[in-house]
Amino acid sequence: MSDITNKTTSRRDFLKDTGRIAAASTFMAAAAPRMYAGQSNTIKVALIGCGGRGTGAADNALSVKQGPIQLVAMGDVFENRLNSSYENLNKMHADKMNVPRSRRFIGFDAYKKAMDCLSPGDVAIFATPPAFRWVHFTYAIKKGLNVFMEKPVTVDGPTSRRMFELGKQATEKNLKVGVGLMSRHSRALQELAKRIHDGEIGDIILQRAYRMHGPIGFFSSLPKPPGISDLMYQIQRFHSFIWASGGNFSDFNIHLIDHQCWMKNDWPVKAQALGGRHYRQSPDGVTYVDQNFDTYSVEYTYEDGATFLLNGRCILGCKDIYASYAHGSKGMAVVSKSGDCGMPSSIHEGQKPLRSNLVWESRVRPDERSPYQNEWNDLVDAIRNDVPYNETERGVKASLVTSLGRMAAHTGQEVTYEEILNSDHEMAPGLDTLTENSRAPLVADAEGRYPVPQPGIIKQREY
């Protein structure tokens, strides 16, 4: 294959015309010899952030059936993650993998090198810790690239304001942007949202959501071992550090928060919350040094006074609950029966989710049962048909409302949406200039411990 970076004509111009065969043929003839006739409508993809979620997103991208698509570049700061991701994707999609070693990039500038392998209108996947979203999104907009970014997309007020502005810039350039809040692409939840918005359960008065299970991911961390810098340790174990991910609260709970706000068709205006660090030692007695609470309970309030209660817990041996419910003046709904958006969704008479009072239950076609695949199908449809598609604003609002609840718990104060949006506490400024030798956003004390939230003591910021 020729060097894929040498095509100067806008990919978007080709993709939006693929349905017009005669016009596309004429255009191809006029454009030759700058392009390959066989690749005129191939969407090229670059994966930035090659962990489990990034690999999953790339798998969904390469599973899209709406025309040819190829993965052509990968980037990460950890070589072992990139290598593992490449091997797994190559097993599943060998015919759509075009990522020679020269296009597998390692380091803090890998995102630029990977996106430099794309043409305008191609797609960059962002699946690094969310602190880096605004950095990568800025470069993608400069390059004229469509984007799929994983959730959350911000962790504090200053970066939220920045991302709102970047979203506007993307719209002005007609870029398509997907955000990995896949509940919005669940066909069951789409039908439920329509029914709720049409008044089938009346006015929503109360919402409940629960994510309570044992520790997963990088929820807790022991003191940094030798042989790795503070910076790389914090990026590697991003769930443990608020600056990198919003901590386990943001990463674990954002889907429930997002889809409940969707059902309400509104965003909360304030939150009060509580939480605590209960079991903070490993089985052999070493103290964990992450910033997370083991339990969270948040009371969100909407402008009309309706209440949304969110409960989160990461403790072994307790009752596991992972579901969400909406209670209205005329009935109630099971939003997610299990997990972030587990089917079936249902509507019931009264306030108990019983089979005996079932009014409606979702039915979804087998080929649309995966919201992860649906969100990619929807994004690629928008790219190929050149229709407006930008989920940035909603993704930022969901991330900000999630951070609102987290901040209320960590400070012990009632916090409003406007207060966190306009906060001046950027947890990790200057990430666009980061190198492997940079100082970490968090500095450990002599015993390897990082600062933790102290509700009622530190009130204006989280640590």
Q: State how far the Cα of 438 lies from the Cα of 19, in Å rounded to an integer.
A: 49
CATH superfamily for 187-368+399-433 is Dihydrodipicolinate Reductase; domain 2 (3.30.360.10)
Q: State how far the Cα of 262 lies from the Cα of 259, in Å rounded to an integer.
A: 5
Report residue 174: phi and psi, to 5°. 60, 35
DSSP 217: T
pLDDT at 283: 87
CATH superfamily for 4-183+375-391 is NAD(P)-binding Rossmann-like Domain (3.40.50.720)
383-406 pLDDT tens trace: 999 999 999 999 999 999 999 999
pLDDT at 40: 62
The 3-state DSSP class for residue 211 equals strand
Residues of the chain under the 50 pLDDT cut: 1-39
Spell out the domain ranges in the chain: 4-183+375-391, 187-368+399-433
103-116 pLDDT tens trace: 999 999 999 999 99
The upper half-sphere exposure of residue 74, i.e. CA atoms within 13 Å in the direction of its Cβ, equals 28
Contacts of 272 (CB under 8 A, 6+ apart): 298, 299, 408, 413, 414, 415
Please report how the helices 157-172 and 133-143 are oriented relative to each other, as an axis angle in degrees rounded to 10: 20
242-252 pLDDT tens trace: 999 999 999 99
pLDDT at 19: 41
- Identify each DSSP E strand in 268-363 by its residue range: 270-276, 295-301, 307-314, 321-328, 331-336, 346-348, 358-361
Q: What is the CA radius of gyration of the chain?
A: 23
The upper half-sphere exposure of residue 306, i.e. CA atoms within 13 Å in the direction of its Cβ, equals 22
Where on the phi/psi map is residue 129: left (φ > 0), alpha (ψ -120 to 50), or beta? beta
